[in-house]
Amino acid sequence: MDSVAVENYLKSIWELGPDDVATQDLAQLLNVAPASATKMVQRLTERGLVKHIPYKGASLTSEGRRRALSVVRRHRLLETFLAQTLDLGREQLHDEAERLEHALSTELETAIANYLGNPERDPHGHPIPGPNGELLIDEDILLSDCSLNQSLVVTQVPDRDPNLLTWLEGNGIFPGTKLKIISRDDFGGGINVSLDDSSVQIAISVASEVYVILETD
């Protein structure tokens, strides 16, 4: 069984990947010093889970990817399970799952998946990898890349920052929300979107973490 640290590194490399994951980015995501990340990347390379080209970057081997996706699956199943049973706010889920994901047996993972009816997405709209690492390919696009006046539906919101998530939620923006960009304020640094019965200004930095699809109906 991989240690908590190993599981976190694999998942982070997956999140930053697929290729040339920079030591610095990895270190920052995991809150460790760059030297620590280098060392762990070397250990994982030794174990055959990572491929590392010094001074260039790291990437997962197929076994590394398999294990990373297993962690991601547990994480997203847990978020979904906690959201469904207890009712925690969407913004509380991530941090809990971040710790619980390392303590789930395969049996419990399966029991939770069955209980939930093998869901395809977690409460943030992120696809849940299958038990063998099958991952839905999303064809959604960034809100920040959309044109004016298209009818859009939110598919995914970021899950790491509780404050951001609370703000989005408070403005009615979460997976399933229908919206439309009504103007871009390039110098004001944001876009204006209209929802069913309100409108909000969203910073580009935020809009480039929200995924949407074109409304089809």
Q: Rule CB under 8 A: choose which of 107, 139, 197, 217 binds its own copies.
A: 107
> Which position among 44, 80, 124, 129 is part of the footprint of Mn ion (CB under 5 A)?
124
Q: Is 108 in the site for its own copies (CB under 8 A)?
A: yes
- The token duo for 146 is 């959309």
- Residue keyed to tokens 């809990």: 96
Distance CA 53, CA 187 (A): 41
Does residue 131 belong to the site contacting its own copies (CB under 8 A)? no
Residue 80 Cβ, how far from its own copies at the closest point, in Å?
A: 13
Q: Which of 88, 142, 195, 200 binds its own copies (CB under 8 A)?
A: 88
Instruction: Check binding of 92 to its own copies (CB under 8 A).
Output: yes
Backbone φ, ψ for residue 70 (5° rounding)? -65, -40
Which residue's CB is nearer to Mn ion, number 158 or number 172?
Answer: 158
Nearer to its own copies, 115 or 167 (CB): 115
Q: Which is nearer to DNA, 44 or 112 (CB)?
A: 44
41 has which bridge partners? none
Q: Which residues, at least 6 apart from 46, have a Cβ–Cβ distance to it below 8 Å? A: none
Report the nearest approach of DNA to the CB of residue 46 (Å).
Answer: 9
| Strands (DSSP E) found in 14-124 | 50-53, 57-60
Choose among its own copies, DNA, Mn ion, none what residue 55 binds, the Cβ cut-off being 5 to 8 Å by kind.
DNA
Whether 159 contacts 124, CB under 8 Å: yes
Q: Tell me which residue of 5, 10, 6, 41 sits closest to 23, measured CA to CA.
A: 41
Contact call for residue 214 and its own copies (CB under 8 A): no
Residue 52 touches which of Mn ion, its own copies, DNA, none (Cβ within 5-8 Å per kind): DNA
What is the rounded CA–CA span in Å between residue 176 and residue 168?
13
> Cβ neighbours of residue 148 under 8 Å, at least 6 residues apart?
181, 182, 183, 184
Residue ranges binding its own copies (CB under 8 A)? 81-82, 85-86, 88, 92, 95-96, 99-100, 102-105, 107-108, 111-112, 115
